Chain A
Amino acid sequence: MARPVQFFLNDRLETVEVDENEILIDTIRERFRLCGTKEGCRTGDCGTCTVLLDGRAVRSCLILTCAVEGKHITTIEGLGNATNVHPIQQAFVDVGAVQCGFCIPGMVLTAKSLLDENHHPTEHEIRIALSGNLCRCTGYEKIIQAVQLASQRMYP
């Protein structure tokens, strides 16, 4: 059964009519055509569909759209754009953390969630935070360096 849901998507109040079993990733991609949220598995394993829900990194394939009533959802499009690059994004670019790039929007948002809470995470804390986001290209080495660099630049 369809029902209306209101929530903030990248700081804009949106209203959508969704089926009760519609998951957030489909709402974001199919209805709002925000393609930065990637689908890797739909089983909550890979983390490529990570978005921020009230600032915390969550998997949008594991969340019913109905459940985000009144909440703030941030997708990668809400973090920066071509002329206004977020420091975490810039750090990923600068250290060469991007290869195929499919996991990267989710990684960046997970890093954002971490750095908001912990301005100066240790390497171990970064590894723990990123451990739910799979990457098959990089071995995580440069991704971890990127988070460290972003931390230094954002919270000197």
Chain B
Amino acid sequence: MKRDTVIGSSLIRPDALAKVQGRAPYVADIKLEKRDCLIGRALFPPYAHAKILSINTSRAEALSGVEVVMTAKDLPGLNGYGAAALDKPVLADKIVRYQGDPVAFVAACDKKTADKAVALIEVKYEPLFPQTDPKENLKPETPLIHEDHPMSKGTNISSSWRVERGNVIAALSRSDIVLENDFETQIVDHAYLETDSCIAEPDPVTGILHLITQGHSAQLNCRSLAAAFGLPHSKVHVTIPIVGGSFGGKEDSNLEVSVMAGVLALKTGKSVFCEYTREESFRNTGKRHATHSHRKLGATKEGILTAVAADITVNKGAYRSIDPIPQRMTMYGGGVYRVPNALVEARSVFTNQVYGCACRGLGVPQAMFIIESQMDDLARRLNMDPVELRLKNILRDGDTMITGQAIKKSQGLGLEKCIQAVCERIGWDKPLEQSDDPSIRRGRGIATIMYGTGTGYPTDGAHCFLNLQMDGSLMVGIATAELGQGGIIAMTQIASEAMGIPYNMVSVNYSDNHSSPEAGATVASRSTVFHGNAIINGCNILKDRMLCCAGQILGEDPRDLDIREGIVYTRQNKERSIPLTEAIKFAFSSQVPLTTTGSWYPPLNHLDPIMGQDTRMHTYTYGAQAVEISVDIGTGIYTLDRCVSAFDVGKAINPMCVEGQIEGGVTQGIGYAMMEKFELRNAMAVTDTYHTYLIPTSMDLPKLETILVEEPNELGPFGAKGIGEPPVTAAAPAIRNALFDAIDIPFYSLPITPIDVLDAIKKKKSPVVNRQERAATKNLEK
């Protein structure tokens, strides 16, 4: 019997048709069906740091159509919420720490009235100096951003981490070459197209508060907010319909509108809808963290890396939000290379700015920019090809990262294959064709990356509910949000294969904390592997039960039976078979349960907070990206001509979705490199529209060439590894390195805009030449 499999098949995702026809409801669309919903709006301060002296809401309350006006004194529960720490006030009380701290909420019959009421609220502030420099805020004499932070007592440090291995000082002093550079990376916005929104509906019968909202985990939303509502977790029902993009942002940024809608609903006893405008979404919600790094890299004259020392400061902004950034930037401090000696230290520091949150890649785009840029500087110093230098140093089977973790081939180690694949496709060995236009310089650059699957915390694991139906279909209750990544189809394919039933018999109930178990969030590129493995585990439990029942019907040993396409058959004699439904009916009438919980967790990782020597992730996704660019040295404008990416995904469960993840992630990386920068003046947002905050359009990109490499992860479902975040991490250094190649100017901060390029060209004392011209000059000198 030919064994058909849906694994590795580009099945059409179930949400696609509804989405192309505009029938798929997002939160704001669901609100359209709720006529009596009140509209909630917030008053935000005109300062990033200020004392609140007084608030007068009487004129707003007197306005016809206004249901309620709330300030910090009117809250039903704790005045604090958040994903990692309950440190973000529901309503600012006495102090505002950034411009997104709401001072008052209004619920009214419609948006116009609510906005009018907000404008009638009178607040007296005493402006304070906005403390925006993380380095200043580290000094002991600097005032604390939080007088009494739940996690950071007596310090402005939000979190910190260090990785130490070998003897860095000795190794650097013995190194033939030591490079030392400072790197800056900017704040960027997720720029998801659907702004933050939530409907809160109080249930008068059960006392449950139902939130129809966005997020990466219904359970996480519940946990982050319940105390602010003064409700037990069991009475906060969160459902997350399809989400219009998130990229980490709505993991907790969306809590801002959710907490507003929730407290207004509890106060009024009515349904309340809250939605940010695009400007509010830009100004208030979490961002990718800005960082400053000082890094030394040591190597022998043969190009073997000897040591890395780095000191990294992360601008946390006003609240903790999601903050493993120092941990991630240190654990990946050696990049994809063998570096025997390392000391990498990082800390994130509170400031009076918009807070940094999870943003696709979680610190790794910053880390890879630094590492991969310095690798090209080293290649230049050694007069060595950047690919040759990388191949000399990349992690191979049995090598250890700077965290001491041994990299194993059995986890899937396709790094070298990725490098070879992009080099072959782009023609790395052939000289790059230069332009006839004398103002154009062309260049080529490469970057290589790795990215772990999962959060790396010892608590990381996943669970699901499986509910087999009498007709042989299967309901999967799972805590994974459909953010656009294709989670539903991937889970469907895995369940179909594991249970042995057609994929259209699988129904995935996603993102509802009342019908799925706590299983961690849809983050850390973990869903396919963690939730996928939990589904396989659950299916195996159900399958065993059904095979026992079928064995009794058929008079066969259950160990000789299997299920394909909804048929239970005997392996030795395919003719001896019964429909799965017969076994299910037998089970049901014999009191064999048709439901189960499936679980999976990776090998336990003991964290080492002293030396950072641990085994954070059970597997890593590897990748390489090569680009070609053309620079107009008269204007500084440069274009991306080619972009070739290869990622080792272990096994692509649905290759079309995997390609989509890579193409989209690469594009965000290109935006990070070339144009995106969230700018503030006096800690107040300047770039709060899509015409001031630019993201790549179809005209900014070349054809994106994507290569899938599949080196199976022995612990992954059918060999899979995570692919959500890795693709965003390589573009910035690849483009930076291509610029270095094209115009012989190394850049050390992001983004690299045409203005930056032009400025650098103007400052350059020698003529702007590319690699081939440099080589020709060198030959002449000889």
Contacts and interface: CB of A to CB of B under 8 A. Distances in A.
Nearest to B244: A102
Interface in A18-48: 29-30, 33-43, 45-46, 48
A140 B15 contact: no
Interface in A40-89: 40-43, 45-46, 48, 75-77, 79-82, 85, 89
Interface in B4-35: 10, 12-13, 15-17, 19-26, 28-29, 32-33
Nearest to A77: B22
Given A35-B29, A136-B245, A131 B697 contact: yes
A101 B20 contact: yes
B484 interface: yes
A140 B664 CA distance: 8
B17 A93 contact: yes
B660 A75 contact: no
Interface SS of chain A: loop
Given A131-B697, A139-B667, A82 B32 contact: no
Interface SS of chain B: loop
A141 interface: yes
B404 to A, nearest CB: 36
A89 B21 contact: yes
Contacts of B664: 99, 136-139
A115 interface: no
B193 A82 contact: no
Contacts of A35: 22, 25-26, 28-29, 32
Q: Chain A, interface size: which category?
A: 35 or more
Contacts of A79: 21
Nearest to B689: A43
Nearest to A103: B193
Contacts of B659: 96, 141-142
Given A123-B703, A136-B192, A76 B32 contact: no
A104 B195 CA distance: 16
Interface string B647-674: 0000000001101100111111000000
B701 A43 contact: no
A141 B704 contact: yes
A12 interface: no
Contacts of B22: 34-38, 75-77, 105
B486 interface: yes
Contacts of A7: none
Nearest to A130: B698
Contact of B19 (A39, A101, A130): A101
B15 A82 contact: no
B193 A36 contact: no
A96 B245 contact: no
Nearest to A85: B17
Nearest to B705: A141
B244 A38 contact: yes
Interface string A125-149: 0111011111111111111100000
B695 interface: yes
Nearest to B665: A139
Given A98-B13, A104-B19, A141-B703, A136 B668 contact: yes
Nearest to B112: A19
Contacts of A41: 278, 689-690
A123 to B, nearest CB: 7
B23 A46 contact: no
B485 interface: yes
A33 B20 contact: no
Contacts of B698: 126-128, 130-131, 133, 140, 143-144
B699 interface: yes
B16 A93 contact: yes
Interface string B182-195: 00000000111111
Nearest to B670: A139
Nearest to B671: A136
Nearest to A124: B699
B20 A99 contact: no
Interface in A94-130: 94-96, 98-105, 108, 123, 126-128, 130
B701 A139 contact: yes
B36 to A, nearest CB: 14
A130 B700 CA distance: 11
Contacts of A133: 698
Nearest to A46: B690
Given A39-B28, A93-B20, A137-B660, A100 B191 contact: no
Contacts of B10: 96
B277 A42 contact: yes
Interface string B535-565: 0000000000000000000000000000000
B247 interface: yes
B673 to A, nearest CB: 14
A100 B701 contact: no
A138 to B, nearest CB: 5
B473 to A, nearest CB: 21
Contact of A101 (B484, B665, B704, B706): B484
Nearest to B485: A99
A81 B245 contact: no
Nearest to B15: A101
Contacts of B697: 130-132, 134, 140
Given A29-B32, A77-B22, A136-B664, A94 B695 contact: no
A123 B12 CA distance: 24
A94 B13 CA distance: 10
A136 B247 contact: yes
A137 B247 CA distance: 9
A82 B23 contact: yes
Given A100-B193, A102-B26, A127-B698, A36 B21 contact: yes
B724 to A, nearest CB: 11
Contact of B699 (A45, A108, A127): A127
B86 interface: no
Contacts of B25: 35
B483 interface: yes
Contact of B17 (A29, A89, A135): A89
A28 to B, nearest CB: 11
A99 to B, nearest CB: 4
A80 B21 contact: yes
A99 B277 CA distance: 23
B243 interface: yes
B683 interface: no
A30 B32 contact: yes
A99 B484 contact: yes
A86 to B, nearest CB: 8
Residue in B193, B195, B483 whose Cβ sees the most chain A Cβ within 10 Å: B193
Residue in A30, A43, A131 whose Cβ sees the most chain B Cβ within 10 Å: A43
A108 B20 contact: yes
A7 B618 CA distance: 60
Contacts of A138: 660, 663-664, 667
Contacts of B29: 35
A100 B192 contact: yes
Contact of B245 (A85, A102, A108): A102
A42 to B, nearest CB: 7
A41 B192 CA distance: 11
Interface of B: 10, 12-13, 15-17, 19-26, 28-29, 32-33, 190-195, 242-247, 277-278, 483-486, 656-657, 659-660, 663-668, 689-691, 695-699, 701, 703-704, 706
Given A41-B690, A100-B193, A140-B667, 18 more contacts: A35-B26, A35-B29, A40-B195, A42-B277, A77-B23, A80-B21, A96-B10, A101-B20, A101-B242, A105-B20, A105-B22, A130-B697, A131-B697, A135-B193, A136-B193, A136-B668, A138-B667, A141-B704
28 contacts: A35-B26, A42-B277, A43-B278, A45-B690, A46-B278, A75-B22, A76-B20, A77-B23, A89-B20, A92-B20, A93-B12, A94-B12, A99-B660, A100-B192, A100-B245, A101-B242, A102-B26, A102-B194, A127-B699, A136-B192, A136-B245, A137-B484, A138-B664, A139-B704, A140-B701, A141-B663, A141-B701, A141-B706
Top 3 nearest A-B pairs (CB, nearest first) are A36-B22, A100-B484, A101-B19
